[in-house]
Chains A and B, each alone.
Chain A
Amino acid sequence: MAKESNEYVRQVANEQYKYGFTTDVHTEIIERGLNEDVVRLISAKKEEPEWLLDFRLRAYRHWTTMKQPEWGHLDMPDIDYQAISYYADPTRRASSDGKPKEIDPELVKTFDKLGIPLEERMALSGTAVDAVMDSVSVKTTHQKLLQEKGIIFCSISEAVKQHPDLVRQYLGSVVPYRDNYFAALNSAVFSDGSFVYIPKNTRCPMELSTYFRINARGTGQFERTLIVCDDDSYVSYLEGCTAPMRDENQLHAAIVEIVVMNRAEVKYSTVQNWYPGDKDGKGGVLNLVTKRGHLRGDNSKLSWTQVETGSAITWKYPSCVLSGNDSVAEFYSVAVTNNHQQADTGTKMIHIGKGTRSTIISKGISAGMSQNSYRGLVKIGRKADGARNYSSCDSLLLGSRCGAHTFPYLDVQNNTATVEHEATTSKISEDQLFYCNQRGISTEEAIGLIVNGYAKDVLNKLPMEFAVEAQKLLSVSLEGSVG
């Protein structure tokens, strides 16, 4: 047994973040620092209309009046906002000023290596991908096929040019730039992200997916995603992300806005695997994201599914504002922290419409020296007659130096509402392990088995390809956490 575990420890010591490589591609990076000129420069580089520049400047000016919040259960390193470059474009070659017609083969290789097929002939998986590296969308696949159905799926910079009215109507309508510190920052400097518009009575024939990659050093990623799902439509959207291993903290402050109209349904899944820092907690991505969906229509439905395994610090609350009557919101989350990772994540369910229902299933797994917090708000407004919420937050502790915390907030202002919340914290019981050992399953495998079983409620909600990936990720993230 002792020998076996020694061997295992060695294995783990060699275990590295799989996506930690860097791509050697010429990247145009603007000067570090943040001021109005930088905001103007970003806007100019993206050839944006006047109104968007105004929006950015308003956001920037508001940001300068704000202070970085400190209420999270996180030990946040100081962020020097002037030491970050806010725009990095890997698609521009040094020699030519215009965008090359062909994508740099290095970039294609990078995404191939990450398992993201940019060549449509290879994309048999039936998923349309928008690949974003640093501040720029590299390529969006299957656009033609989608266009035939009237579906718009492109990078947000392209959408600003092609569909300015739609973008203008919805941008900032779910997450206004005044919302919070990082939302203001993002609104000022946001670069690429995806734009999705599903017209009325349309069922999106394939999964839409955006893959975010941070590559350049000394930059942050400030992507912005906007999804609008019109009446009686349906879309399933996936988001994945990775970053190279660097010993500095990289900032990722994104905004995702989702608008769901009458009887429409949006499924949003994230597998977040940013670089988590090394085992001593050095480096890693600071993932400070504002994600919110607005269920504007009656009988609309939005479901967030997230598997959070990466990032040195995760601080995000994918939320739902349930304005439409009888709208339904769901939040399924698995958050895994290991080594020195910290996560303060959860959701907000704001019930405004009558007969609205929401479900929250959150599974936290903490190992090593990590801190994992669930923080959630369930608010039932005065007019939300018959609203219903069920929340269940479980935490699993692996290792005696980690922490698991639960901070739910229940605000009920309507007497016909029913709100239930339950939470448990425990470790894997000796009995369960013994049972597995007895049947010839090694301790390590047994823990993988139990953890996967524990997270099954959430993993089951992921689209199939993602679920397999997430399961693997889960076991990799936890390797070495058991001893």
Chain B
Amino acid sequence: MSSTTQNYIDLYAAHRNRMMEVAPQALNARRDEAMDNFSRMGLPTQSAEQYRYIDADRAFSGTYRLSLPTSRLMAEDAPVAVNNSQLLDKYYATCADADDPIVALNTAFATECLCVHVGKDINTGKPLEINDVLNGDTSLMEHKRILIVLDEGASLTMLMHYVSTDRQQFLTTQVVEVFVADGARLDIYEIEETHTACTRFSNIYFHIGSHATVRHNNIVLWGGITRNTLAATLCGEQSEVTLNGCVMADKRQQVDINTLIRHEVPRCTSHELYKFVVDEQATGAFAGKVYVAPDAQQTESDEVNQNICISPDAHMYAQPMLEIYADDVKCSHGSTVGRLDESALFYLRQRGIPLQQARQLLIQAFISQVVDYIPLEPLRQRLHAMVADRLSGELDQCVGCGLCQPRVQADGCNSSKP
């Protein structure tokens, strides 16, 4: 067992009683078992196939103070509650993969669960926004838990925005469990805009009923070490799931996206589109697996992963996978790693556009394809603007949360990981 894993086991022993006091019963009930699981598995190293592109053991090795997250609800009429015991009893820790070490760690340390619940045939209309703000005056560690439940025919659009307001080192794990009942529709957008000293491991699990539509958009603008695990299980016929995302990484950022779409029943459709732009010394990794169970006939699935490496030190790893046990299926995947089109650059420069700007334009066009899929007009526009800002270097810190301090020195964010 690694010393880092041991540190977390010790940390648990030290804080167990305090967590048991503040957390609801449903969370406490799973705590010890999860810790046992975690001690058995330990933090994954790169020899674990699922974590081959990111050294989780190293990512978790910094010294952090354990902080218990507290949520504040800003809107009265929003379908959100903290620790809704009815939901927790029924759904908590039933969908997340208990054999994932990060999920086990999170389940052991979670003390609060944000519950989003949309009742039968209700359309919430206004999008729901969850802002996850990291701030503190010392290095902090937080373990967040979210539960999203959509009853039959319900409809919800939600935005999850991860920002940091301090230049401290933050370590976050987040586990989101999503239950989408028959005929429901969920659009969910995740935007990460933290900073280079942040380490964020996020796992999101979807359990999807029949005739349902789920669209997930994952936009990583800024971060230090980001690992997003997405797993969608199609459990009812004629459902559709879309997992889209774009990643912009530079400096020494590491972004690792790992997705799994499980077609358990016939006649479902899945789409996946992921784009990475990797610059400077950054590393991008994408592993996307589509699993088609025996008898899940008439499955349609397409997966596209396109990546651009800008600088000589940028690395990109891609691993699009198909695992198919049924014959009447149409499945495809495509993956490319390349550079900006020289002739397009030349064309732009010929017309008097400086090289830097020409490159920005091309990258923006490349990324835009993902953003263009977002049906929500204001959000789409806001994201286009954010992407443009990010590329022009203006978006060194988060915008939009209103808490930001002025830009700090650029080198301040380079040398922040131990």
- The chain A residues found within 8 Å of chain B, CB to CB, are 71, 73, 380, 382, 395, 397-427
Contact = CB atoms under 8 A, between A and B. Distances in A.
Contact of B319 (A399, A409, A413, A425): A409
B330 interface: yes
Interface string B296-315: 01000000000101111011
A378 B321 CA distance: 14
B309 A426 contact: no
A425 B317 contact: no
A351 to B, nearest CB: 12
Contact of A426 (B49, B297, B329): B329
B311 A415 contact: yes
B314 A415 contact: yes
20 contacts: A399-B327, A400-B297, A403-B324, A403-B325, A408-B318, A408-B335, A410-B316, A410-B335, A411-B316, A412-B307, A415-B310, A415-B311, A417-B338, A418-B337, A420-B336, A421-B333, A421-B334, A422-B332, A422-B333, A427-B329
Interface of B: 49, 294-295, 297, 307, 309-312, 314-339
A426 B338 contact: no
A422 B334 contact: yes
B344 to A, nearest CB: 14
B40 to A, nearest CB: 19
Given A410-B319, A414-B309, A425-B329, A405 B336 contact: no
Given A409-B319, A412-B309, A398 B337 contact: no
Contact of B336 (A404, A416, A421): A421
B331 A425 contact: yes
Contact of A400 (B49, B318, B323, B328): B328
A397 B332 contact: no
A406 B321 contact: yes
A419 to B, nearest CB: 4
A421 B332 contact: no
Contacts of B335: 408, 410, 419-422
A398 to B, nearest CB: 7
A412 B331 contact: no
B302 to A, nearest CB: 9
Given A400-B295, A404-B322, A423-B322, A412 B317 contact: yes
Contacts of A395: 322, 324
Contacts of B323: 73, 403, 405
A442 B11 CA distance: 70
Nearest to A418: B338
B146 to A, nearest CB: 31
Contacts of A422: 332-335
A397 B297 CA distance: 12
Residue from the set A382, A402, A411, A415 with the largest chain B CB neighbour count within 10 Å:
A415
A403 B331 CA distance: 13
Nearest to B318: A410
B327 A400 contact: yes
Residue from the set A397, A410, A414 with the largest chain B CB neighbour count within 10 Å:
A410
A277 B298 CA distance: 31
A407 B319 contact: yes
Given A73-B323, A424-B331, 13 more contacts: A395-B322, A402-B325, A404-B324, A408-B319, A412-B317, A413-B315, A421-B320, A421-B336, A423-B322, A423-B333, A425-B329, A426-B330, A427-B329
> Nearest 8 CB-CB pairs, A to B?
A397-B327, A415-B309, A410-B318, A412-B337, A422-B334, A406-B322, A419-B337, A424-B332
Given A422-B332, A424-B331, A417 B337 contact: yes
Nearest to A410: B318
Contacts of A401: 294
A124 B307 CA distance: 53
A397 B294 CA distance: 12
A460 to B, nearest CB: 24
Contacts of B318: 408-410, 412, 419, 421
